[in-house]
Structures are given as C-alpha cells and as structure tokens.
Amino acid sequence: MSHMLKQTVLAYALLSSSFAHAGFLDFIKDIDTSKLTSSTAASLPANLSNAEVVSGLKQALKKGTSFAVDNLSSEGGFLNQPDVKIPIPASLKPIASSLEMIGQNSLVANFQTTLNKAAEQAVSEAAAIFADTIQNMSIEEAANILKGPENAATEYFKKRSSEQLLEKFLPIVKQATNNAGVTASYKQLIAHTGSFGNFISSQSPDIDNFVAQKAVDALFLRIAEQEKLIRENPAARTTDLLKKVFTP
C-alpha cells in the first residue's frame, strides 16, 4: 500500500478525534471521489477503490470522535486524568496555599473541581463547532499537510484553528462555568482570605478563558495521541476495512 494513501486516510483519522457530529459525517458521505486529483488517484493501489478509501475515512472519523469526546466529556474526564487535569490558575496559587495552611483544603479542592467540571461540559458541547473548521479542508490539502513530520496534522490544525476554536469555546465555557458553580466557588475562595483576598480579587484571572484554553489544549492532546496510535499500533485498526487501508 502506498504511503500517500495511508497518509490521506490518516489525515481524517487524526482530525476526527474532536469532530463527532452527523453534519461532518454527511460531508464525508457527499465527497465526490471522481474529483480526486490525478496524483492522489494514481497513488491508490489496484486492490483499493476510491469508495473504500472514503468508507475508511468515515470509520476512522467515528472511531477517533468516540475516543476524544467520550474520554474528555465523561465523568471525571478532566479531573481524574492527570495529563489534562486543570490546575488552579497560577495567579491564585498563593491564595490556595494560604487556605490549605489554615485547614481550608476543601475550598481549594471544590474550586478546582468546578473548573474541571466546566471543561467537561464545554467539550461535550463542542463537537459540532469543530465540524465547521474541518469542512473546508480537502482530501488533497490533508495529504499535502501530512508530507511533513509525523505530528504534522495535529500541528497544522492547532496553528490554523486554535484562535477560532478558543473564540467559539468561550461562550460555551462561560455558560458551563456558571452551571458548574465556578463563579460562586471563586467568590467563596476569595471571601476566606480577608484583605489579601481583596487584592487577589482586583487581580483576578479570566477564569473562562483559562478553562477554555485548557479544554482546547486537551482536545489537541487527544488528537495527537490518536495520530500516534493509528500510525504505530495495528490493534487500533478495529475493522477489516481499516486493516486493509492501514496495513502496509
């Protein structure tokens, strides 16, 4: 099997880690394989049709989406996974340490929990937003991107989409932080610090932006993990078609 074919299919496997909803799957269904460039078509092996490639893309999308969204939006998806657990913002660490020294550990723990719960809610609502970003990428464009290093798809998507995703995440996170009680928890944290709390409050961080950025970072981390997994682990190819497409 040609390197180009595997890279083409892999492009969508990677990007699918955060693009779950039916709208994008409909987009994939509507791909006109007759419009593939001659260079892309020429890279297809004789035993694999364009239709099989598109079906492989759809399967990879579904698999990657289920992993990323379910993993991060599940109960404890952020809080119980050290690699994505959202910490206390750096500007609030002095106040958190002071409270813990006087036995107010529960206030600090509750605040951190609400941050992570807000991220869970944001991720569960975000899959449809990501679909709008990926719809503008052609098969040929994805294949060209993947001529770079092995994390090229992840890095390209991060470079092109981070700012837009953060902007779109913010209103979702704002609502999620309200639902999760972040504002109330933050005020409670400040209320227990007296005059020092007044100073911290005047220098308060943008908690919504902080949570939104951490949520976006976590999604990119999971995309990168799926990129590595699909490249290196045959066990990740869980259907006959994926095995056929990705097996050398």
How many C-beta atoms lie closer than 10 Å to residue 120's C-beta? 21
How many C-beta atoms lie closer than 10 Å to residue 46's C-beta? 5
The pair of structure tokens assigned to 49 is 């049709």
Q: Where are the alpha helices (DSSP H) in 2-102?
A: 3-15, 22-29, 38-42, 50-73, 93-101
Whole-Å CA distances, 104 to 14, 19, 173, 205: 43, 41, 27, 21
What's the rounded mean pLDDT across residues 142-166? Answer: 70
Burial class (CB in 10 A: 0-12, 13-18, 19+), 26: exposed
Q: What is the tens place of the pLDDT at every residue in 96-124?
A: 887 788 888 888 888 899 889 888 888 88
pLDDT, mean over the chain: 70
Q: What is the tens place of the pLDDT at every residue in 36-63?
A: 555 555 454 456 565 665 455 556 656 6
Q: What is the tens place of the pLDDT at every residue in 188-217?
A: 666 655 544 444 444 456 788 899 999 989
Degrees to nearest 5, angle at CA 33 with 28 and 36 = 110
